[in-house]
Chains A and B, each alone.
Chain A
Amino acid sequence: AQSVTQPDIHITVSEGASLELRCNYSYGATPYLFWYVQSPGQGLQLLLKYFSGDTLVQGIKGFEAEFKRSQSSFNLRKPSVHWSDAAEYFCAVAPSGGSYIPTFGRGTSLIVHP
């Protein structure tokens, strides 16, 4: 079975600073990888996904993530954070076969200081 670790519970950055949220996964083969964002009182919205091919994927709202097989990581990055990026961010991994149902990490809460 797959698993996901998001080691940072909270991340605080200043507006305009760069951001990197960490995600490590455990899965026997190449998985499907995702980042979702959840604003307060809302459901989750997909930011980006990796299935295969180019290991650097671009998403919505200026986010990108890089798949590193050797490190079993899929870290989320943004070069310049806006106050509206404050939210909860979830990394998820789905098996590349079978049910395809994803497993989610615990989430990282992003706090943006003005």
Chain B
Amino acid sequence: EADIYQTPRYLVIGTGKKITLECSQTMGHDKMYWYQQDPGMELHLIHYSYGVNSTEKGDLSSESTVSRIRTEHFPLTLESARPSHTSQYLCASSDLGGSSYNEQFFGPGTRLTVL
């Protein structure tokens, strides 16, 4: 079944730890995205990718990094977690086809709490 997965769903971690949030999709989509979501706020794009070996920063400054070594996998890494990183992180993917926008498919999110 074609889908988009995020692990872990919930993570509580101490300050200074290195963490990686996983995102995988089985739809063969070229474009993938990471959003940060806080209650009552817009979804903020923090990273996106057009395909393998392509990564771009979004409109929200983030201390995280991403990689795209395989089409289906788009992990996000925080080298040293801080309480200000506490948030929900949503991964999404879409097709790159043609000249028109294609629907984004979202994963269930990872809720990160940094103590």
Interface residues, chain A, with chain B CB atoms under 8 Å away:
4, 9, 32, 36, 41-46, 49, 51, 90, 94, 96, 100-107
Structural contact, B101 and A106, CB atoms closer than 8 A: no
Contact partner of A105 (CB less than 8 A), chosen from B33, B42, B103, is B42
> Min CB distance, A87 to chain B, in Å?
13
Structural contact, B108 and A102, CB atoms closer than 8 A: no
Given contacts A43-B106, A43-B107, A51-B100, contact A106 B45 (CB under 8 A): no
Q: Is residue B2 within 8 Å, beta carbon to beta carbon, of the partner chain? A: no
Instruction: Report the contact-size class of chain B (Cβ under 8 Å from the partner).
Output: 20 to 34
Contact partner of A49 (CB less than 8 A), chosen from B43, B103, B109, is B103
CA distance A34 to B104 in the complex (A): 10
Interface residues, chain B, with chain A CB atoms under 8 Å away:
4, 33, 35, 40-43, 45, 48, 58, 90, 92, 100-104, 106-109
Q: Which residue of A lies closest to B44 (CB)?
A: A104
Structural contact, A9 and B108, CB atoms closer than 8 A: no
> Min CB distance, A13 to chain B, in Å?
20
Structural contact, B101 and A100, CB atoms closer than 8 A: yes
CA distance A49 to B94 in the complex (A): 14
CA distance A51 to B101 in the complex (A): 9
Q: Which residue of B lies closest to A103 (CB)?
A: B42
Q: Which residue of A lies closest to B111 (CB)?
A: A41
With a cutoff of 8 Å between Cβ atoms, the chain A residues found around residue B101 in the complex are 32, 51, 94, 96, 100, 102
Structural contact, B43 and A46, CB atoms closer than 8 A: no
Structural contact, B42 and A42, CB atoms closer than 8 A: no
Structural contact, B106 and A44, CB atoms closer than 8 A: yes
> Min CB distance, B105 to chain A, in Å?
8
CA distance A103 to B102 in the complex (A): 14
Q: Which residue of B lies closest to A100 (CB)?
A: B101
With a cutoff of 8 Å between Cβ atoms, the chain A residues found around residue B109 in the complex are 41-43
